[in-house]
Chains A and B, each alone.
Chain A
Amino acid sequence: MPIEAWLIFLLIFMILGSIAALEIKDILSSIIAVGVVGLGVSLAFLFLQAPDLAIVQFLFEIFALIILVRAFVKKDYHQEEPSKINKILIGVTLITLTAIFILSISVFRALPQFGQPLMHIADHYLNQGILETGSANLVTSIILDYRAYDTLGEVTVLFTAILGSLTILRIKSRDRQKGGVTT
């Protein structure tokens, strides 16, 4: 079977899984459905010849699932029913999104065809990469030698986000006893 048939099957599976994740009322089932969507993305990366990305996507998605399940699965969790004005809002949103999708078909027709990318800079990386950097993994040579400055920025963003979440989770609020002052 050609690659495009596998990808269409995986994408339809992921769309059904994401619709199920939004509409199910039980919170553990919807978190698992989002996990299934992430696994489908990892399989699609394997079909598209990117093994680096498949490993990283799979592991990071499992970690996101661990954090979500630990924080939100509890006994007294219930959802509210949508009121009448909310139903009107859902209808308007659906019509707007369908209109956006129909108007964007002509935009997607102008993209290059699937399977023939325009590789202007990538030719230089593929031909000269191993001579200039000495590493056999070309994706690693791009992120750690040709564009190492972007990796420095990414490490900074990850550090800041984790630092922020650690600070928020560890505030011992004293405003219940003293009346207004927290550190």
Chain B
Amino acid sequence: MKSKDGMTLIVKTMTRLILWMIFLYGAYIILHGHLTPGGGFGGGVVLALAFLSILLAYGRSFTLKWLNMHFLEEFEASSILLFLIVGILGILAGGVFLINFIDHGSVFHLLSAGTIPLLNIIIGIKVGVSLFLVVYALSELKLEKGEDL
């Protein structure tokens, strides 16, 4: 039933059709974090599940060719640096670490509330990429004799 790399043709075609919807849903939860429930953490997990569906449907060797794992690891580590840079910019602009220094704007609009959407995006990207990397590293183990993911 399972071929050597991934699942059958129906699963691969359906995954390719609905993958952009999962990414869009995760981005929606992250960006509207200050208006509706959700925020950076919930949206980050949805992004990780979108990457995971590629890994499950297409097999590990295809994912290794398509996504650069080294770039993803550096991307995850640099998002912590971005968080600290936003905090240090708060010292330069307001006097306190991590102060909300951007203009608040009007309430209930998408571009409001200062640094809160920016921090939501940083946290969402970090959580998504790191959870996908854990499952990818776990899938490199050989469970049975010679059977891969």
Contacts and interface: CB of A to CB of B under 8 A. Distances in A.
A141 interface: yes
A130 interface: yes
A4 B95 CA distance: 47
Contact of A67 (B35, B49, B138, B144): B138
B140 to A, nearest CB: 7
B116 A141 contact: yes
Interface residues of A, number: 38
Contact of B34 (A135, A152, A156): A135
B54 interface: no
Contacts of A152: 83-84, 87, 98
B80 A55 contact: no
Contacts of A134: 104-105, 107, 112-114, 116
B137 interface: yes
Interface stretch (A22-30, A105-113, A157-165): A157-165
Interface in A53-86: 55-56, 59-60, 63, 66-67, 70-71, 74-75
A137 B107 CA distance: 11
A59 B45 contact: yes
A20 B113 CA distance: 47
A59 B76 CA distance: 20
A168 to B, nearest CB: 9
B13 to A, nearest CB: 23
B130 A74 contact: no
Interface residues of B, number: 50
Interface in B69-115: 76-77, 80, 83-84, 87, 97-98, 100, 104-105, 107-108, 112-115
Contact of A166 (B114, B115, B133): B133
Contacts of B8: none
Contacts of B76: 159
Interface stretch (A5-13, A95-103, A114-122, A142-150): A142-150
A1 B80 CA distance: 47
Contacts of A135: 34-35, 112-113, 116
Contact of A144 (B104, B116, B137): B116
Given A66-B52, A140-B34, 5 more contacts: A136-B107, A137-B35, A145-B116, A148-B119, A169-B141
Interface of B: 29, 33-39, 41-42, 45-46, 48-49, 52, 76-77, 80, 83-84, 87, 97-98, 100, 104-105, 107-108, 112-116, 119-120, 123, 126-127, 130-131, 133-135, 137-141, 143-144
